[in-house]
Each structure stands twice: as C-alpha cells, then as structure tokens.
C-alpha cells in the first residue's frame, strides 16, 4: 500500500476566542478523492487555507509527501505540487481563455513568457494550453475573453488552469457553487475523470456530487472532524445525520 500524499496532524486555528479548526487530523491517500463536508461556518475553507498555505495554523503539522510544509508559504507549496482552486472563480477576466491557461503553465515552467505578452509567442505553452482546453471542452472558446464565459465554463477553465500547474494534489473549494444542473453534471464528470489521475481534496455542498465522487468523506462541525469514512458509512452515521445531513440523503 502506497504512503499517503497528505497527513494533517492536530491542526488548530483560532481567532481570539473563536477556534475555527479544532484538533483536525486527516490522511489523504495517493489515489483518493477525499471530500470534506459540513454546515456553513464549520471551518472547511479555513482548513483548506491552512493546507494550501494561505494562512498558518496555531498548532499542528501538515506533511505533504512526507515533507513538513507547515511553515511554507502558498507559492512554495504550489511548486511542490500542492495546488488549489478558490471558492470564488479566480481567473483573469481581461485575458483570453488560452492566455489564462498559458500563464499558469508559464508560472510552473518559469519560461520567458511575459505576463502582458502574447501567449502565441511561446509555442510549447500555447500547445499545452490548447490540449488542456480541448480536454475541458473549451477549445472553441480559446480566443474569447475569460470574463464573458458562462459560470460553468469559468469553472471548467479554473480546473484547466489548475491542471496547467501540474498538481500532485488538487484542492478544490466548492467547484460546483453557482452552476446550473447541466453545468454541475459536466463539472462532476470532469472530476470523475480527474480522480483517476491524481488525489483531490474536495470541499462541496452538493451532496449528490460528493457521494458520487468521494472515496472518503470527512465531516467537519464547529471546527472538529466528527466522522471520517466511506460515503456509505457517512451516509448511515447517526451523529452525522443529526449534525448535518438530516434527511438530505434519505
């Protein structure tokens, strides 16, 4: 059995008297989609901020592929392959769809591509970006400004941008938020394919998608993990149903 890609040990984060993450310990396998669910205010996004390096925990450790990354900033974790997308779509609306992906590839590769330059000036970045856009159903939108895409297309573009960074672990914060039923179906299918290639941590409120995608589900309530296990185990856990799921999955 392979070693886990991510180990979180006794993570705590407080703001004054408010403890947002409270002794959180989790393990993510090297070929696992691990969903983290919980009510609003449970501390899910704060937990992902700590994993990605956006904020620093008060206590605890984060091990990525056996390396202690607790003190590393976000950009250094990204260089190691710990890559995240944001709950609010984080693309460059004034740049073309193609340029958004090429810029992400440039950031990874450190090529001579200039931030305000022409994406076509770097052929290898251009080719890689086109391949990713085709994979995410955006090939026909390559020259369109990213800001005019539909919400679902922006979610697909955000995933293409994340993949351009060559992640070894992908952190996704509510990738289905604000999508229509058809857009949600398309993004879910994309994630189903991605989970065959790399481990994913998924924060999501769409329980249908969570239970369709996840190998492991952890439930966060008031900053604490109250249960962690297979989707079936979580679905049938009385404490989880009382605290969060209720009759949603009945």
| 111 compared with 39, residue with greater pLDDT | 39
Which residue has better confidence, 2 or 194? Answer: 194
CATH of the domain at 245: 3.40.50.300
* Domain region containing 121: 90-165
Same domain, 101 and 135: yes
Span 11-34, pLDDT tens digits: 999 999 889 999 999 999 998 999
The answer to whether residues 194 and 148 belong to one domain is no
pLDDT score recorded for residue 178:
82
Separation of alpha carbons 242 and 234, rounded Å: 12
Maximum CA extent, the chain: 58
Q: How confident is the model at residue 119 (pLDDT cuts 50, 70, 90)?
A: very low
Percent of the chain with pLDDT over 70: 88
- What is the torsional sign of CA 65, 227, 35, 172? negative
Alpha-carbon gap, residue 61 to 10, rounded angstroms: 7
| Helix pair 123-135, 151-164: axis angle to 10 deg | 130
Which range among 50-59, 134-143, 172-181 shows the weakest confidence by mean pLDDT? 172-181
- The predicted pLDDT at position 34 comes to 97
Q: Of 165, 198, 213, which one is at a domain's C-terminal end?
A: 165
* pTM check: above 0.85: yes
Q: What is the pLDDT of residue 105?
A: 82
| Among 11, 42, 15, residue whose Cα is nearest residue 223 | 42
**Residue 1 CA, distance from chain mean position:** 24
Q: What is the 3-state secondary structure (H, E, C) of 178-195?
A: CCCHHHHHHHHHHHHHHC
pLDDT at 118: 53
222 lies in the same domain as 109: no
- pLDDT tens-digit map of 49-65: 999 999 999 999 999 99
Packing angle between helix 97-109 and helix 151-164, nearest 10 degrees?
20
Identify the domain boundary among 135, 165, 195. 165
Instruction: Please tell me whether residues 39 and 142 are part of one structural domain.
Output: no
Residue 109 pLDDT grade (very low, low, confident, very high; cuts 50, 70, 90): low
Q: What is the total count of domains within the chain?
A: 2
**In which band, very low, low, confident or very high, does the pLDDT at 197 lie, cut at 50, 70 and 90?**
very high
Residue 223, pLDDT > 70, answer yes
**Residues 135-160, mean pLDDT to the nearest whole number:** 91
pLDDT at site 245: 65
101, 155, 177, 183, 201 from 186: Cα distances, Å: 19, 10, 13, 5, 19
Two structure tokens written together for 72? 């590393």
């Amino acid at each position: 059995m392979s070693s886990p890609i991510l180990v979180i040990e006794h993570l705590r984060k407080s703001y004054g008297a408010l403890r947002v993450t409270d002794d959180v310990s989790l393990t993510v396998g090297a070929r696992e989609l691990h969903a983290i669910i919980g009510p609003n205010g449970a501390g899910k996004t704060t937990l992902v901020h700590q994993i990605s390096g956006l904020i620093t925990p008060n206590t605890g450790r984060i091990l990525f592929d056996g390396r202690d990354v607790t003190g590393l900033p976000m950009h250094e974790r990204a260089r190691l392959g710990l890559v995240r997308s944001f709950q609010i779509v984080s693309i460059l609306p004034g740049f073309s769809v193609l340029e958004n992906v090429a810029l992400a590839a440039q950031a990874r590769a450190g090529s001579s591509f200039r931030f305000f330059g022409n994406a076509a000036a770097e052929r290898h970045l251009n080719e890689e970006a086109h391949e990713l856009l085709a994979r995410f159903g955006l090939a026909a939108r390559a020259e369109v400004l990213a800001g005019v895409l539909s919400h679902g297309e922006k979610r697909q573009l955000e995933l293409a941008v994340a993949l351009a960074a060559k992640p070894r672990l992908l952190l996704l914060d509510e990738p289905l938020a604000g999508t229509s039923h058809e857009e949600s179906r398309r993004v879910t299918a994309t994630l189903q394919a991605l989970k065959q290639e790399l481990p994913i941590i998924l924060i999501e409120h769409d329980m249908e998608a969570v239970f369709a995608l996840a190998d492991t589900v952890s439930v966060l309530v008031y900053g604490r993990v109250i249960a962690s296990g297979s989707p079936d185990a979580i679905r049938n856990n009385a404490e989880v149903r009382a605290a969060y799921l209720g009759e949603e999955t009945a």
